[in-house]
Chains A and B, each alone.
Chain A
């Protein structure tokens, strides 16, 4: 079975973003970028499926400008076999990305597509579900555990839901989105980073895939959220309770 993994390049999770003064967006110039953490988990899971003999090929896909290649290299160094780079300078919305991925899936014919449940930049949490809909496939979102049946026809997915955990059996082929507890992604070793340089990254364009990526949403402005007023330190628990009762009025 071939496994396709979608990955996104985002501002590093440890960076506190700055909103541009003119309200046009957040500052991205000279900011550290990295693979979206949920995408790392997706790559790790795919590589483990290959190590377990369930996947015979792991193919990465990323859509975005030139530097998306760096993110693909990171995934290749983690153990993916090859990569596809959909090159575009346009800003991409989840629906457009889902359409691009559906077009790639039509060419590649994977049995399973793994994605992160959410990108930590736009926080949309949409692409995997949209892709499953466009392909008419089953979806297992927010996965914390996956297990393939012996005959490869069913994937059992444990999902992190608001009430706890839920388990569903998906008819293959399927789209799965990863949650935090699915695995702990490996660090690429130096030999693997060197080896990844020899792996192929094939460029494609939205035009070649026949997908209209014109944005649907108009971002009118991006603002900084209202800051919280500074607080105070108290010395004792008794003083805290007194403040909560008599000052804040919440007890």
Chain B
């Protein structure tokens, strides 16, 4: 038996969440799951496949370079993976929108009850996963022949290059189910680090008042090399696009430093950031629940505090 990882990739590189998923696959492998194979399906994805082959702990890479997989359609991917499934005891996807979309479709086709968003491996069939917005942790055992799993990227270190490069084997495309067609994408372009893998995240909530005021966060983000996030309230209010949302049903982040500005701290938001190493909260309401998880809190008007913070950070940088 072996462990298969479905790679999320783009622009010739593996997504950081894929590297975390490979680490998780390695843990399952050592617990008896067997060697780790990575499947890179896409268009012009040879470079990403080579990157996967160089990663420590990867024994084999399958590449399927075909236009069917250009936009990671769940329908096309499930048709590709289903015939391979019997050779693997575990099939892992990162718990990103890529994996959340694609994994359950495969799971149903192989009659497996997927285990979503695992954050720890106990043994090859036992895993820990958060439920109720992370307010409880369930330890579950799967006895399904093929275990389909999505992996919480923040819970596993990113795998790094090392060891002898794995062999890269070509995989023929499956028939196109022809059920859906990619029309287009409107992706947020940013020079800042990606939210889920940034070392520092600064997020704004309803208290920011408007989208224009997010410039106050962006200036600080640029000083810190941070990503900018938001609470659901700020996204719903139209301040920032949906891909900024941190929370139970948005993005899960666990940076070294998370700065929550004008965010009250609803359960659903805390679910997305409470595993951050250090949490800072800036809020004018001293009873805001965000202060219960914050290591450092400042009670006050964010429009006074943010410029002071920017100045203090700039001064600290000078030293």
Chain A residues in the interface with B (C-beta under 8 A): 11, 13-14, 16-17, 19, 26, 38, 93-95, 98, 117-118, 120-134, 136-142, 144, 156, 159-171, 179-181, 215-225, 228-229, 231-238, 240-241, 243-245, 248, 250-251
Contacts and interface: CB of A to CB of B under 8 A. Distances in A.
B279 interface: yes
A179 B142 CA distance: 29
A250 B276 CA distance: 11
Nearest to A26: B136
A123 B108 contact: no
16 contacts: A95-B107, A130-B107, A138-B179, A139-B74, A160-B97, A161-B97, A180-B242, A217-B113, A222-B137, A222-B138, A223-B136, A233-B296, A235-B298, A236-B298, A237-B312, A241-B313
B142 A216 contact: yes
A163 B115 CA distance: 24
B261 to A, nearest CB: 12
A37 B109 CA distance: 28
Given A233-B298, A237-B308, A238-B308, 11 more contacts: A16-B135, A120-B248, A123-B132, A132-B105, A162-B251, A164-B185, A166-B185, A219-B139, A235-B298, A244-B257, A244-B296
A214 to B, nearest CB: 10
Interface centre among B102, B249, B278 (most CB of A within 10 A): B249
Contacts of A222: 131, 136-139
Contacts of A251: 224, 257, 313, 316
Contacts of B126: 220
Given A171-B180, A181-B236, A123 B311 contact: no
A129 B104 contact: yes
B113 A225 contact: no
A149 B187 CA distance: 24
A141 B101 contact: yes
Interface string B17-47: 0000000000000000000000000000000
Interface of B: 71, 73-75, 78, 96-98, 100-109, 111-117, 126, 130-144, 177-188, 196, 200, 224, 232, 235-236, 241-243, 248-249, 251, 256-257, 267-268, 274, 277-280, 286, 291-299, 305, 308-309, 311-313, 315-316
Nearest to A141: B101
Given A160-B243, A168-B182, A169-B181, A231 B279 contact: yes
B296 A240 contact: yes
A86 B108 CA distance: 20
B178 to A, nearest CB: 7
A138 B96 CA distance: 20
B139 A243 contact: no
B152 to A, nearest CB: 11
Contact of B132 (A17, A179, A218): A17
A118 B249 contact: yes
B132 A237 contact: no
Shortest Cβ-Cβ A-B pairs, 5 listed: A129-B104, A130-B108, A216-B113, A138-B179, A237-B308
A200 B168 CA distance: 58
A244 B267 contact: no
A10 to B, nearest CB: 9
A120 to B, nearest CB: 7
A229 B292 CA distance: 9
B291 A231 contact: yes
A55 B116 CA distance: 33
A168 B236 CA distance: 23
A244 B97 CA distance: 33
A137 B71 CA distance: 18
Given A129-B104, A238-B308, A221 B257 contact: no
Contacts of B241: 164-165
A126 B114 contact: yes
Nearest to B73: A168
A138 B137 contact: no
Given A124-B116, A160-B242, A232-B297, A238 B131 contact: no
Nearest to A184: B236
Interface centre among B200, B243, B311 (most CB of A within 10 A): B243
Nearest to B289: A16
Contacts of B274: 228
B298 A240 contact: yes
Given A220-B141, A250-B278, A95 B114 contact: yes
Contact of B104 (A17, A126, A179, A244): A126
B105 A139 contact: yes
B186 A164 contact: yes
Nearest to A156: B183
B154 to A, nearest CB: 13
Interface centre among B111, B183, B277, B315 (most CB of A within 10 A): B183
A219 B95 CA distance: 20
Contacts of B188: 163-164
